[in-house]
């Protein structure tokens, strides 16, 4: 699940080595139904708002799903991606996060939950619930979301820049970034399948079309016909045009992403890189064969649960924000 943004810098991949994720800390655990007694209608409230929003603005599904990943890969799943900074130094101000959208939907869910259950539901949990709900809303899988996270109070622009995996990452960097967070190679290829929905600016992959090695060449790992089609949509130096990541399936969550990557039509370098490892290559080829024989939906739910456990705050750690964009 690599970042998709309009102003990616070609920086070296220097990951901060952070502690492996866990679903328990400080004697508390994440669990399904954490709010069963304190806010029994939390999931229904989230789902009703999300269903209404996606029915009217389906393009918000992809960025709201991606927001959970962008949160969890920087300081863990603590809602730090939501925090504002008066000096524009928060995670959301970092180049990899400039294309994130849907913060107002998180705020809308939070407002409704504060009305129903004041001071109970964390913003980090809302991000996790909304990620599941938008996936279901675009015909994707459902899964039971573990809750009980608490909100962090630190959000740093530099940490987002160095911890989020860019679209030009190779397979070694991709595997390293996931393994550092306690996630497997299978989780990597499964969560990459979220690229079945969403769009990208041409600037995130233009070098693959016009200047892959600095010599005015194209990326040899891309299908030549796909390159021709992309060049029609993205002239040299185009920074603004939007392209579907999974043409024909941009608003439907399905397994077609794997079919495209297997045909060397992955939009990002990080997509094509999945063909450079035997385990990821084998998975994507199997998932792309048959929609009904695919295990992708089941696997995706399991991997999302695992990602949702990364470096969480629980118990008396952190806080429950009243407003998701600022600490109490």
Which residues are known to be catalytic? 70
Residue with tokens 């600490």: 327
Q: Is 196 annotated as a binding residue?
A: yes
Rounded Cα distance, 120 and 112, in Å: 12
Is 125 one of the annotated binding-site residues?
A: no
Residue 277, marked binder:
no
Residue 133 is assigned to a ligand binding site: no
Provide the H-helix boundaries in the chain: 42-56, 61-72, 103-116, 123-137, 157-163, 171-179, 185-192, 206-210, 224-233, 256-262, 269-272, 278-287, 296-307
Query: Is the CB of residue 185 less than 8 Å from the CB of residue 280?
Result: yes
The answer to whether 93 is annotated as binding is: no
The answer to whether the annotation marks 36 as part of a ligand binding site is no
Give the residue carrying structure tokens 């696997």.
299
Query: Is 74 labelled a binding residue?
Result: yes
- Residue 210 sits at φ, ψ, to 5 deg, of -130, -20
Q: Contact 41/204 with Cβ under 8 angstroms?
A: no
Angle at 80 between CA 200 and CA 125, to 5 degrees: 90
Q: Is 80 annotated as a binding residue?
A: yes
Q: Tell me if 254 is assigned to a ligand binding site.
A: yes
Is 158 assigned to a binding site? no
User: 193 is written with which tokens?
Assistant: 């399948």
Instruction: Report the binding-site residues.
Output: 71, 74, 76, 78, 80, 91, 195-196, 246, 254
Instruction: Report the binding-site residues for Ca(2+).
Output: 71, 74, 76, 78, 80, 91, 196, 246, 254
């Amino acid at each position: 699940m690599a970042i998709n943004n309009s102003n990616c810098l070609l920086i070296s991949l220097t990951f901060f080595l952070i502690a492996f994720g866990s679903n328990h800390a400080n004697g508390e655990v994440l669990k399904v139904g954490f709010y069963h007694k304190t806010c029994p209608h939390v999931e229904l409230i989230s789902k009703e708002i999300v269903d209404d929003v996606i029915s009217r603005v389906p393009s918000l599904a992809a960025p709201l799903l991606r927001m959970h990943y962008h949160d969890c890969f920087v300081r863990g799943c603590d809602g730090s991606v939501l925090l504002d900074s008066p000096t524009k130094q928060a995670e959301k101000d970092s180049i990899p996060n400039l294309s994130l959208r849907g913060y107002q939907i998180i705020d809308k869910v939070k407002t409704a939950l504060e009305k129903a259950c004041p001071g109970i539901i964390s913003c980090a949990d809302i991000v996790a619930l909304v990620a599941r709900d938008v996936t279901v809303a675009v015909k994707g899988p459902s899964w039971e979301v573990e809750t009980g996270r608490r909100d962090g109070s630190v959000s740093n622009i530099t940490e987002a820049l160095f911890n989020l995996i860019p679209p030009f990452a190779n397979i070694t960097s991709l595997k390293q970034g996931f393994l550092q967070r306690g996630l497997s190679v299978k989780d990597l290829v499964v969560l990459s399948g979220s690229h079945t929905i969403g769009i990208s600016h041409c600037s995130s992959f233009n070098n693959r079309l016009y200047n892959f090695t600095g010599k005015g060449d194209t990326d040899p790992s891309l299908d030549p016909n796909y390159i021709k089609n992309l060049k029609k949509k993205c002239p040299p130096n185009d920074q603004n045009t939007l392209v579907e990541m999974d043409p024909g399936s941009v608003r439907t969550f399905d397994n077609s992403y794997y079919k495209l990557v297997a045909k060397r039509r992955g939009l990002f370098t990080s997509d094509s890189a999945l063909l450079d490892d035997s385990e990821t290559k084998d998975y994507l080829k199997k998932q792309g064969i048959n929609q009904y024989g695919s295990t992708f939906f089941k696997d995706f739910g399991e991997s999302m649960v695992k990602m949702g456990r990364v470096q969480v705050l629980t118990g008396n750690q952190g806080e429950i924000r009243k407003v998701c964009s600022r600490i109490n």
